Amino acid sequence: MSIKRLDPAPMDEERDSPRLVMPPTTRSEFVLDVKNFSVDYGTGDQMVRAVNDVSLTLRRSTVLGVAGESGSGKSTFVYAMTRLLRAPGLISGGTVNLHTTTKGEIGEEVLDLVTASEKELRKIRWSHVAIVLQSALSALDPVVRIAREFDEVLKTHRPEMSKKQRRERAEALLATVGLNEDRLDRFPHELSGGQRQRVMIALALALDPELVIMDEPTTALDVVTQREIINELQDLRSRFDFAMIFITHDLSLLVELADEIVVMYAGSIVERAPANELYEAPRHPYTLGLLNSFPPMHGARQELTGIPGSPPDLSNLPIGCKFHPRCSYAMARCVHDEPPLVSVGDTGRSVACWLHVEGAERPVPVELSRRVTSSNTSDTGGGAS
Amino acid sequence: MRMIARRIGLYVLTAWVAITVNFMLPRLMPGNPIQNMIGKLQGQVTAQEMNAIRLSFGGDTNHGLITQYFTYITQMFHGNLGISITLGASVSSILRESVPWTVGLIGISTVLSFVIGTFCGAMLGWTRGSRFDSLIPTATFFQAVPYFFLGTVMLLVFGSHLHLFPVLGAYSANVTPGWNWAFVGDVIRYGELPVISIVLSSIAGWMLGMRNMMITMIGEDFVLMAVAKGLPRRKVIMHAARNAVLPSIANLSLAIGLVVSGALLVELVFNYPGVGDLLLQAVLNEDYPLIQGIFLVITLTVLAANLIADFIYLALDPRTRTEAAL
Amino acid sequence: MNALRLPRSPKVLLGAGILLFFIIMTVIGPLLAPDDPSATSFAPNLTPSAHHWLGTTSLGQDIFSQLLVGARATMVVALLAGLVATVLSMTIGITAGYFGGVSDDGLTLLSNVFLALPGLPLLIVIDSYLPVGSRSNAFVIGLIISLTGWAWGARVLRAQTMSLRNRDFVEAARIIGEKRYRIMFSEIAPNLLPILASSLLFTVLYSIGAYVTLAYIGLTSTSVWNWGTMLYWAQSNNAPLSGEWYWFVPPGICIALVGTGLALLNFGIDEFINPRLRAAGLTSRQRRALGLPRRVRLGLTPVLRTGATKKTVSAPSRAVSP
């Protein structure tokens, strides 16, 4: 049940356009619904397409992992989606429908973030969509005490709360991430890296958002702290009810955390699959490469092979499949035609690779039909048709 | 507090350098200007005055340099800065009269200019790309105009031609100096145009510096986060501005010296009874005791202003407080 | 300029244009001057006319000739002082930043002291003791100005050197066994170029202000023509109050324009050093054509209208065989 704008208002105006309000009765299972979303950097001759025609959906209370090397467009995608992408980035098409609900009400409201006004965006920001950045040190205002960060957010979005209530809420939030309340009176530089990231996570949960976006939240941390934060997140997910988009280049981490994983390369989705299946049987050669670049967090050791070549240069992409220069399975067709993202199998998986299209010049290689070291390959050729 | 202790140490050292420069300069110059001056004064002043002047330059020149230096410093700490040759009064009493005017005029102008300039700079930085950007070349032009030239033009246009402001001097002849309304009002009226001139000349520096820092800060993650939190625009700007203003305050030490230097000449243009006008008279008449006294007092004032700026910085940046506590 | 690859913004072009104009004036100005600037051969107090573009002084000197001739002394002293000060700040800044330790402490203290000392009053004091002969010597004046103007540059350069000191290429040169001064001047200095250029522009700006001020209060020889002495003579003959704007306004404007040129050029260098200051991507005409807002607001990524020209992603071929 979606409530749509009648016509898109001019982008840079500060008013709420009249909205068609219908009595909400049901809510969809999705919190986010992205269609044909594209992002460019610059225009004209210098234009570079950073995100190319991405469509995806995110179910309530689930975790979507977005993986890819630097330059894959994964961060650009989420920043643009929330309209936080800086110049010279601009959205060149698509819709991003955010389904928001209010406590105590049955239905939902749908807001297309791409056409939303500044005022509408301000309203949904943090109360419905919160973000955790890679470096908490740079994400926290260096001259402001931690308490102010919480206070400000609560004061803006929950004006009915008293000063005392806000303080208590902040203390409770810190407790949920295992931090003592005395941290509230510290400045960011007085905390350790792990503590700062915990503060950011607590801050993200301050308003019970439906969607939390995590942009490589553990990359800047050491392995032990990284582990602790991931466990913390797992725990918080069971206690709070939020959906999460988790961006990282570390696929093995996602396998553990995510329900579903999307792999991006050069701005496009190349593979999408439930986390377990992606881990067990990657379909795209690039996914396989990513899996082989990191040691799994649990389980048997494997040889790390990585991906040959360097990440794509967005201003100079090859014709055909953008991955073909680095792909060890490339065929003649890959050089000329770009493979579409098509569904394979029956679990909602999809992949953009000519190997998995009927009538491919060569059979699907063993490792792209079943990765985990079983010698038996004949039973899972499913991806090939 | 270690930072403040270090800064105070630096300022004491700088004051010492200024004193030593005062002492050494005439001795390093070819042609011994002090001896010449004293020679010319012979017979024009009383023996007692002559003695005071001699002492203020270090006493008997037959003594060693070190002895002279100690005499010089001792005399200075006793408030003997010598006697002005042209005005006949003791340098310290002359300075006592003119310094408050200068401190008042330049102090008010600097505070106004800093506050307005920083505010405008923050706005310029935030609205970067808007039509306000066309202010930048104009601001740059004002930044490049010599203070005294702008003062002259202001005096001419708004004082002499349009008669919008009273000019020349700090108050009119028909009021009695003191704490009475007529006098205070007069001082304010007469101070307006000099203050405006100094503010106009110095504001662009703060404005452009703040604009650049603001743009740099807007590129920081925490400002983006302030937006992501759905904070009202005013609060987002405050997050960026509070951080952007820190370098401005840190650079105050360089800027205060420049502003004071420029403002002294504005006093000259407006015949303001501060040390600027005095300095020019002293220079033209080669009144060395007065020149030395003025240099010393300007230096001490600038150092005091620096110290105030340091305290403000300390209050605004928690990071320095922690560092200082270590 | 080429080595710096300055962003070609209108501001930078305007600044460079202004400076070029005055540099040409410095070189050929005295040759173009129609009259001897000191010759009192005309009627006094003439208003601007075809014969005397800027009128004459109360002594009957041609003001336009004074302006043209005065450009040289003004610019040469400012450039000289700026160059000497920059060399000083480079030597002191790089040495302090590279060596660290005691020499750093000492040099930093020295530059902090010079920063805290009010420059112009110090200049006036030094200058007032100078014998009259030296005051007319442009080089002596230039050197003294540079003495009070090096400290800021030294501070900035020191900070930058410290950050460069531990970079790989400097480390490599050290391991190869290059001599210290060679590393400092052939490895580190080139990387300081933008900051050096900025520091040079600032010291020239400071020097021109200081020189003109000294001349204005009569502390340089009044017989050397520069824009400051013109203002001095205009002031002492009460030109401002008697409405002879053509006497004192032109030199003031010239000084301000040179300063503006320097500052605008410095914008370009700032943008080069700090990429965030660069205007992002599009010209305003392109923005209009695409229906984009003139200014991109933080947290409001613009959306390209669907009606606007939507080019398909061009994919330049890059023949690569797997």
Query: pLDDT, tens digit, for every residue of A122-156?
Result: 999 999 999 998 888 889 999 999 999 999 999 99
Please list every residue in chain C whose beta carbon sits closer than 8 Å to the beta carbon of residue B236.
298-299
pLDDT of the residue at A4? 41
pLDDT of the residue at C28? 84
**How many pairs of residues across B and C have Cβ atoms under 8 Å apart?**
176
Nearest residue on chain C to A51, judged by CA atoms?
C313
* Closest by Cβ to B284, choosing from C218, C245, C256: C218
Measured CB to CB, residues of chain A less than 8 Å from chain C are: 11-12, 40-44, 46-47, 49, 52, 79-80, 83-93, 114-115, 118, 121, 125, 316-319, 324-325, 327-328, 330, 334
Please list every residue in chain A whose beta carbon sits closer than 8 Å to the beta carbon of residue B224.
84, 86
Question: CB distance B222–A125 less than 8 Å?
Answer: no
Q: What does the mean pLDDT of chain C come to? A: 78
**Which of C292, C297, C300 to mutate to probe the A interface, most A CBs <10 Å?**
C300
Model confidence band, residue A346 (pLDDT cutoffs 50, 70, 90): low
For A207-252, write each residue's pLDDT tens digit. Answer: 999 999 999 888 878 888 888 888 888 888 888 889 999 999 888 8
Model confidence band, residue B165 (pLDDT cutoffs 50, 70, 90): confident
Which pTM was predicted? 0.83
Question: CB distance B144–C259 less than 8 Å?
Answer: yes
Question: CB distance A141–B230 less than 8 Å?
Answer: no
What value, to the nearest 5°, has the Cα angle with vertex A79 and ends A74 and A81?
95
Collapsing DSSP to helix, strand or coil, A176 comes out as: helix
Q: Taking a C-beta distance cutoff of 8 angstroms, is the pair A68, A264 a contact? A: yes
Quick one: three-class SS letters along chain B? CHHHHHHHHHHHHHHHHHHHHHHHHHHHCCCCHHHHHHHHHCCCCCHHHHHHHHHHCCCCCCCCHHHHHHHHHHHHHCCCCCECCCCCCEHHHHHHHHHHHHHHHHHHHHHHHHHHHHHHHHHHHHCCCCHHHHHHHHHHHHHHCCHHHHHHHHHHHHHHHCCCCCCCCCCCCCCCCCCCHHHHHHHHHHHHHHHHHHHHHHHHHHHHHHHHHHHHHHCCHHHHHHHHCCCCHHHHHHHHHHHHHHHHHHCHHHHHHHHHHHHHHHHHHCCCCCHHHHHHHHHHCCCHHHHHHHHHHHHHHHHHHHHHHHHHHHHHCHHHHHHHHC
Query: Higher confidence at residue A367 or residue C206?
Result: C206
For A12-65, write each residue's pLDDT tens digit. Answer: 444 444 444 444 556 678 899 999 999 988 777 778 889 999 999 999 889 999
**Token pair recorded at residue B18:** 């200024």
Range among A340-349, B218-227, C121-130 rated most confident: B218-227
Question: CB distance C303–A88 less than 8 Å?
Answer: no
ipTM exceeding 0.90, yes/no: no
C10 CB within 8 Å of a chain A CB: no
| Percent of chain B whose predicted confidence (pLDDT) is above 90 | 15
For A285-311, write each residue's pLDDT tens digit. Answer: 998 888 887 766 555 555 666 777 777
**Token pair recorded at residue A290:** 């990513």
Decide the pairing of beta strands A30-41 and A89-100.
antiparallel
User: What residues does A248 pair with on adjacent strands?
Assistant: A67
Residue A355 has pLDDT above 70, yes or no: yes
Q: What letter represents residue C51's amino acid? A: H
Question: CB distance A87–C315 less than 8 Å?
Answer: no
pLDDT of the residue at A379? 41
What is the nearest CA distance from C173 to chain B, expressed in angstroms? 33
What is the nearest CA distance from C249 to chain B, expressed in angstroms? 8
Please list every residue in chain C whose beta carbon sits closer than 8 Å to the beta carbon of residue A266.
none
pLDDT of the residue at B279? 87
Collapsing DSSP to helix, strand or coil, A70 comes out as: coil
Residue C53 has pLDDT above 80, yes or no: no
| Percent of chain B whose predicted confidence (pLDDT) is above 70 | 94
Query: Higher confidence at residue B122 or residue B33?
Result: B122
For B102-137, write each residue's pLDDT tens digit. Answer: 889 988 999 999 999 999 999 999 988 777 878 888
Please list every residue in chain A whose beta carbon sits closer than 8 Å to the beta carbon of residue C313.
49, 52, 317
Residue C308 has pLDDT above 50, yes or no: no
What is the nearest CA distance from C28 to chain A, expressed in angstroms? 43
Residue C5 has pLDDT above 60, yes or no: no
Please list every residue in chain B whose beta carbon sits closer than 8 Å to the beta carbon of residue C117.
14, 17-18, 257, 299, 302
Question: CB distance A90–C304 less than 8 Å?
Answer: yes
Torsion over CA: C124, C127, C128, C132 (sign): negative
B169 CB within 8 Å of a chain C CB: no
**Which of B216, B225, B248, B320 to mutate to probe the A interface, most A CBs <10 Å?**
B225
Please list every residue in chain C whose beta carbon sits closer than 8 Å to the beta carbon of residue A118.
297, 299-300
For A179-213, write each residue's pLDDT tens digit. Answer: 999 999 999 989 998 899 999 999 999 999 999 99
Please list every residue in chain C whose beta carbon sits closer than 8 Å to the beta carbon of residue B229.
none
pLDDT of the residue at C7? 57
* Closest by Cβ to B221, choosing from A123, A133, A187: A133
B268 CB within 8 Å of a chain C CB: yes
* Closest by Cβ to B227, choosing from C152, C206, C299: C299
* Closest by Cβ to C295, choosing from B129, B265, B286: B129
Decide the pairing of beta strands A109-112 and A89-100.
antiparallel
B162 CB within 8 Å of a chain C CB: no
Q: Mutual orientation of helices A146-157 and A193-204 as an angle, nearest 10°?
A: 10
Radius of gyration (C-alpha) of chain A in whole angstroms: 22
B222 CB within 8 Å of a chain A CB: yes
For C175-194, write each residue's pLDDT tens digit. Answer: 887 887 788 777 777 778 88
**Which of B130, B133, B140 to mutate to probe the C interface, most C CBs <10 Å?**
B140
Question: CB distance B216–C277 less than 8 Å?
Answer: yes
Please list every residue in chain A whose beta carbon sits closer than 8 Å to the beta carbon of residue B225.
131, 133, 139-140
Q: Taking a C-beta distance cutoff of 8 angstroms, is the pair B278, B100 a contact? A: no
Residue C228 has pLDDT above 60, yes or no: yes
**Which of B215, B221, B321, B326 to mutate to probe the A interface, most A CBs <10 Å?**
B221
- Chain A, residues 74-93, CB within 8 A of chain B, namely 82, 84, 86
Find the mean pLDDT for residues C87-115. Answer: 86
Please list every residue in chain B whose beta carbon sits closer than 8 Å to the beta carbon of residue A139.
221-222, 225
Quick one: three-class SS letters along chain C? CCCCCCCCCHHHHHHHHHHHHHHHHHHHHHHHCCCCCCCCCCCCCCCCCCCCCCCECCCCCEHHHHHHHHHHHHHHHHHHHHHHHHHHHHHHHHHHHHHCHHHHHHHHHHHHHHHHCCHHHHHHHHHHHCCHHHHCCHHHHHHHHHHHHCHHHHHHHHHHHHHHHCCHHHHHHHHHCCCHHHHHHHHHHHHHHHHHHHHHHHHHHHHHHHHHHHHHCCCCCCCCCCHHHHHHHHHHCCCCCCCCHHHHHHHHHHHHHHHHHHHHHHHHHHHHHCHHHCCCCCCHHHHHHCCCCCCCCCCCCCECCCCCCCCCCCCCCCCCCC
Collapsing DSSP to helix, strand or coil, A94 comes out as: strand
> For chain C, which chains pass the contact test of at least 3 CB pairs under 8 Å?
A, B
Question: CB distance B231–A152 less than 8 Å?
Answer: yes
> For chain B, which chains pass the contact test of at least 3 CB pairs under 8 Å?
A, C
Please list every residue in chain A whose beta carbon sits closer than 8 Å to the beta carbon of residue B318.
142-143, 145, 187, 189
Please list every residue in chain A whose beta carbon sits closer than 8 Å to the beta carbon of residue B222.
138-142
Question: CB distance C298–A86 less than 8 Å?
Answer: yes
Nearest residue on chain A to C308, judged by CA atoms?
A92
Alpha-carbon distance of C156 to C150, in angstroms, equals 11
Please list every residue in chain B whose beta carbon sits closer than 8 Å to the beta carbon of residue A141.
222, 226, 239, 242-243
pLDDT of the residue at A269? 93
Question: CB distance B226–A141 less than 8 Å?
Answer: yes
Find the mean pLDDT for residues B42-58. Answer: 73
pLDDT of the residue at A156? 94
A148 CB within 8 Å of a chain B CB: no
Model confidence band, residue B31 (pLDDT cutoffs 50, 70, 90): low
> For chain A, which chains pass the contact test of at least 3 CB pairs under 8 Å?
B, C
For B53-77, write each residue's pLDDT tens digit. Answer: 777 777 666 777 788 888 888 888 8
C293 CB within 8 Å of a chain A CB: yes
pLDDT of the residue at A375? 39
Find the mean pLDDT for residues B257-279. Answer: 85
Residue with tokens 């009569």: C218
Alpha-carbon distance of B147 to B106, in angstroms, equals 13
Residue A283 has pLDDT above 80, yes or no: yes
**How many pairs of residues across A and C have Cβ atoms under 8 Å apart?**
84
pLDDT of the residue at A80? 93
Q: Taking a C-beta distance cutoff of 8 angstroms, is the pair A228, A260 a contact? A: no
Question: CB distance B318–A189 less than 8 Å?
Answer: yes
Residue A113 has phi, psi (to 5 degrees) of -65, -25
pLDDT of the residue at B34? 72
Find the mean pLDDT for residues C169-179. Answer: 80
